[in-house]
Structure 1
Amino acid sequence: MRSSYRVPERAARRRFNARAARAVHVAYPAAHHGQRGSGVKGHAARASLWLAAALMLAGWSQPTFAATLDGAFLSALWGLPFAGVLLSIAVFPLVAPAFWHHHFGKVAAAWALAFLAPFALSFGAHAAVGALAHALLDEYIPFIILLTALYTVAGGICVRGNLRGTPRLNTAILALGTLLASVMGTTGAAMLLIRPLLRANDNRRHVTHVVVFFIFLVANVGGSLSPLGDPPLFLGFLEGVSFFWTTTHLALPMLFVSGVLLAGFYALDSYYFHRREEVGSRFLDPTPEGGPFGIDGKINFALLAVVIALVLMSGLWRPEVAFDVFGTHVALQNVVRDVALVGVTLLSLVLTPRAARAGNDFNWAPIEEVAKLFAGIFVTIVPVITMLRAGEAGAFAGLVHLVNEPSGEPRDIMYFWATGLLSSFLDNAPTYLVFFNLAGGDAQTLMTSGATTLAAISAGAVFMGANTYIGNAPNFMVKAIAQSRGVRMPSFFAYLAWSGTVLVPLFVVTGWLFFRH
């Protein structure tokens, strides 16, 4: 392994990394109880000051301390800290729940340090600073700003009155969320609908399956029909894939998967609903019926539209102005977007009636958990993504041989599974880019003669984000919100059992039906 961070690259890989870096600069990022009322505003204001300070740092011109790291020179051992983060998320809540509850942020930080310290010793302090700057400024900060904005805005929309969580109503909410996910993004749709769904079912004994299928459908599968639905498709749009290409080419796989899931959910929910003592006494209902149906915090619908517009703007507006921060190029449109999103977050806190947030039992615990854990994930994932981008020259060269025939022809079903399984544990946006480029990287060719290959990559990245809690940002958010409302959610491994039982067989059939070429 070389001791210099600046390493030679082949011309083809230079083009590969340039395309990936240009697309990842996009803005649509790669998702302890607080106080209500004025306390919420104060907490958010302090958080916004930290975010604003980071954005100001992005505006300072700095010397370039880091060049593109060539994954061909990295050992697979550099992926151990990332594996450590995943194992910590999976194991600690089971074996040491009290310790994990109080110290999960410190554990994530320790794994990040376990990567950065040896990396600095091997490649130099400047290289480590460059890697950290890239992880934070190019990926983590935009990611957490967007999630915070969506969490705050959606958390200010409160449905008054009590819907009754029948199988028919629950299925209708899941179907609505699945459709909305391609319009407002999986995170936006999930944050908008999870609280009304939980309120509708708060008098039932079995609610876990409702939230699990919500993650499957609303937080993942539903985002497959437009570039606004999920970050990987947005990156494909920026690479030249037509806006409605995914709508036409993923419609059948999406309808098949969502249709089977909705039918399966309705059958399972009906089984539970008609069991004795499934529904508690109406006198013990935490949100009893009474009062007219209505919505508080309607201003947040307008703010939600602003969030969507800002994300789309950052992909379409290209002023060709960027700031260099320790080797990471921070594009002007991304800075504008992130500053505006912080403003939207503050506006939501100021303009939303206090009763709306109180009605949602709004607190900062879910976003705090996501922010701390994903900080560790985004830092430790850097070498893993870099090795994947190295293609045949990297530690994961076997993947390249797996997805292509010896003649170079793509194996569509292997692209579907390779993209999907990696997207289950890695950030699905850069994973999509890796396989997009392995398949040739030319959008026009992939949309025509390579249409089934591109569809396989797209479907794998979006659908299989549902396989784990960390496969897509809203998964963890939904889990945290449900737990804060008293729902007993599956552990990391128990959730894998759910997805392995329900999703994996469904994806086997999906791959055979649509991508078996």
Structure 2
Amino acid sequence: MPAHLAEIPPLLIIPFGLLLLLIAVMPLSPDRVKHWWEHRYAYVAVGLGLLVAAYYVFKIPDGGHTVLHTLHEYISFIALIGSLFVVAGGIHLNVKGSATPLENAVFLFAGAILANFVGTTGASMVLIRPFIRMNKVRVSSYHIVFFIFIVSNVGGALTPIGDPPLFLGYLRGVPFFWLLERAVLPWLFTVGAILAAFFVIDRRCYNKIPRSLQTQAAQPEQWRFDGSINVLFLALIIGAVFLPERWFLREIVMLAAAVASYRLTPRLIHEENKFTFGPIKEVGFLFIGIFMTMMPALGYLELHGAGFGITQPLHYYFATGSLSAVLDNAPTYLNFLKLAQVSTATSGVVDDTPAAMQAFLAAHPSLVIAVSLGAVFFGAMTYIGNGPNFMVKSIAESAGVKVPSFFGYILRYSLPVLLPILILTAAIFLR
């Protein structure tokens, strides 16, 4: 971040906090207020974003450059999220019957592995609808929450493709297989612990359903894969991630794949998936507001983060994680990675060169692991911690599944279930 961001008043962080508060409380409001929010959220999100952007443009020297950079990041974000949403909407895994707890656990573990090859967004968009159909006899809110925990977040912690923060690290010199070689054990432990918690809850609920439904759930699953052409478009989108950033080439390829997918996918598949553009519309408007309003928060973090006393791997893990839960985890990762580099450099200045990154990785690998795992794992703590989270929530709601509110998600699942597991991971692997 440029030094001029020091001139931004702390009060400018208020729009970001207000937007997060509205996202959290409006769905819980009386019907009249809730109805108003459902029809006006786009205006509120964009309006708050424009308020912050206007201050940058007119009051901050060269602030327009920061706004343009943030807009570029948003376009890249929504191009990836949107194209994967459209392409995944053209893939239909036909599932008959209902899954047992063991089958659910195996499915989620497979999703965690897949997330490292097609990204948490890609894996989430492809698998969430089949997962709901697998459990259509007894689908509940905890199915969606644990899907977000495992497939939409923790699963993608091993490769740059897995989660956007890790891809940004790859672009800045972290080797492709660097985390895979060093973080498999904490990844396996965390995924395994979350799956164990899920299995206990799912088994208890499964035992409470009528025996006739248990018999139906025990029937062998019959799978049918429709929309296979979209596998090609999915591969094209993932491949586009590695294209140069110039001229929006990457985003153009992604959007072209989405358009081709939508045109070539038979209407019947979209109907079977209950595909609509509603979820991506909601994510698009809310996140343009989030991206714009969080600029002052991220600027403050970079300018004053060195004074927070963050020195040890545990510090970086929890500091990166706590902010990744409420800020977009990609820029949070970059800020703490830069903070780690600056704090450990003898001169206090770090060159943005591959050689400098290699030297830093060799000298302080535990700090990079801590920042990486903190950014990816803690993205599951709230609906807005990572891009796929809100998308999965919207798709589940569109399918008629009752999902927890913003605070319900945190109070019923994140704090009592996920957070102790993440703390235990740190205690074992990051001491």
Report the counterpart of residue 36 of structure 1 in structure 2: none
Which letter does structure 1 place at the counterpart of 2:116?
Answer: S
CA contact (8 A) 2:112 2:150 kept: yes
The normalised TM-score by structure 2 is 0.90
Change beyond 3 A, Cα 1:167–1:384: same
Decide whether aligned partners of structure 1 residues 98 and 310 sit closer, same or farther in structure 2, where only a CA change above 3 A counts.
Answer: same
Measured after TM superposition, the shift of residue 70 of structure 1 is: 2.4
CA deviations over 1:335-372 (Å, ceiling 9, x no partner): 11111111101110121121111111111111011001
Question: For the Cα contact (< 8 Å) 1:183–1:229, is it kept in 2?
Answer: yes
Task: Give the Cα separation in 2 of the matches to 1:416 and 1:235.
Answer: 17
Gapped regions of structure 1 (runs ≥ 5): 1-16, 18-67, 315-330, 391-396, 405-409
Structure 1 residue 114, shift from structure 2 partner: 3.2
CA contact (8 A) 2:89 2:125 kept: yes
Q: Give the Cα–Cα distance (whole angstroms) in 2 for the partners of residues 436 and 77 of structure 1.
A: 26
- Does the alignment pair 1:97 with 2:34? yes
The answer on 1:415 being equivalent to 2:352 is no
Change (3 A) 1:403 1:466: farther
The equivalent of 2:74 in structure 1 is: 140
Q: CA deviation at 1:72?
A: 2.1
Instruction: Provide the C-alpha distance between the structure 2 equivalents of 1:377 and 1:416, rounded to a whole number of angstroms.
Output: 23
Residues 243 and 249 in structure 2, CA contact (< 8 A), matched pair in contact too: no
Aligned partner of 1:356: which letter? Answer: I
1:501 paired residue number: 416
| 1:489 corresponds to | 403
Per-residue deviation, residues 74-107 of structure 1 (Å, max 9, x unmatched): 2222211111110110111111321221111112
- 1:456-488 Cα shifts (integer Å, max 9, x gaps): 011000100001100000000000000001111
Matching residue of 1:401: 307
The answer for the alignment partner of 2:43 in structure 1 is 106
Letter in 2 for 1:313: L
1:183 paired residue number: 117
1:79 aligns with 2:18: no
Partner of 1:268: 201
Query: What aligned pairs does 1:111-510 form with structure 2 within 5 A after superposition?
Result: 111-120=48-57, 122-123=59-60, 129-136=64-71, 138-204=72-138, 206-277=139-210, 293-314=223-244, 331-332=245-246, 335-390=248-303, 397=304, 399-404=305-310, 410-440=311-341, 442-497=356-411, 498-510=413-425
Q: Is the 8 A contact 1:228 1:312 kept in 2?
A: no
Q: Pick which of 468-477 and 424-433 moved more.
A: 424-433
Tell whether the 8 Å contact from 1:412 to 1:515 is kept in structure 2 after alignment: yes
Asked whether the 8 Å contact 1:403–1:411 carries over to 2, the reply is no
CA distance in 1, matches of 2:105, 2:212: 17
- Evaluate the alpha carbon distance shift between residue 279 and residue 508 of structure 1 in structure 2; reply closer, same or farther with a 3 A threshold: farther
Amino acid at match of 1:111: L
- Which structure dedicates a bigger proportion of its chain to helix? 2
Percent of pairs with identical residues? 41
Q: CA deviation at 1:436?
A: 0.9
* Contact 1:190/1:219 (8 A) holds in 2: yes
Structure 1 residues 279 and 300: CA distance shift in structure 2, 3 A: farther
Q: Cα deviations across residues 114-137 of structure 1 (Å, max 9, x unaligned)?
A: 32344455338xx5654443322x
> C-alpha separation between the residues in 1 aligned to 2:118 and 2:372?
18
- Structure 2 SS opposite 1:355: helix
Larger radius of gyration: 1
**Is the CA contact 2:98–2:136 (under 8 Å) kept in the aligned structure 1?**
no
Aligned-pair distance for 1:443? 2.0
Distance in 2 of aligned mates of 1:201 and 1:276: 12
State the one-letter code of the partner of 1:135: T
Structure 2: 5+ residue runs without aligned partners?
342-349, 351-355
Report deviation, 1:281.
Answer: 10
The answer for the alignment partner of 2:353 in structure 1 is none
* 3-state DSSP of counterpart to 2:401: coil
Q: Secondary structure at the match of 1:160?
A: strand
Deviations 1:310-346 (A, max 9, x none): 10233xxxxxxxxxxxxxxxx42x6111111111011
Question: Given the two structures, how large is their TM-score scaled by the length of structure 1?
Answer: 0.76
| Structure 1 pair 104–443 and aligned structure 2 pair: CA distance change class (3 A) | same
Q: Alignment RMSD, CA only? A: 2.3
SS at match of 1:99: helix
- SS of 1:114's equivalent in the other structure is helix
**Structure 1: distance between partners of 2:271 and 2:24:** 32
Q: Is the 8 A contact 1:144 1:371 kept in 2?
A: yes
Q: How many residues align?
A: 413
* 3-state SS of paired residue (2:363): coil
Contact 2:5 2:60 in 1 (8 A): no
**Using the alignment, how far apart are the partners of 1:106 and 1:308 within structure 2?**
32
Among candidates 423, 427, 430, match of residue 512 of structure 1: 427
The aligned residue for residue 320 of structure 1 is none
Cα–Cα, structure 1 residues 88 and 69, in superposed 2: closer, same or farther, change >3 Å? farther
